[in-house]
Amino acid sequence: MASYMILTPPGARVDDDRTRFVADGFSWGAFLFPALWLFTKRMWLTGIAVAVLQILLIFLSTLAGGLLAALLLHLALGLMVSLEGPVFIVRRLIARDWTLRSIVPARDLETAEEIYFANVAPGDRNAAERPSVDWPRQAPAKAGPGLGLFESYGER
Per-residue pLDDT tens over the stretch 74-103: 999 999 999 998 888 899 999 999 989 888
Kindly state the average pLDDT of the residues 10-24.
86
Kindly state the average pLDDT of the residues 25-48.
92
Distance CA 114, CA 84 (A): 25
What pLDDT is stored for residue 127 in this prediction? 46
pLDDT level of residue 142 (50, 70, 90 thresholds): low
Q: How many C-beta atoms surround the C-beta of residue 11 within 10 A? A: 12
What pLDDT is stored for residue 149 in this prediction? 52
Distance CA 52, CA 57 (A): 9
Q: Which of 54, 2, 5, 6 is nearest to 26 (CA)?
A: 2
Q: 15 Cβ partners below 8 Å, 6+ apart?
A: 117, 120, 125
What pLDDT is stored for residue 145 in this prediction? 52
Say if pTM beats, i.e. exceeds, 0.75. Answer: no
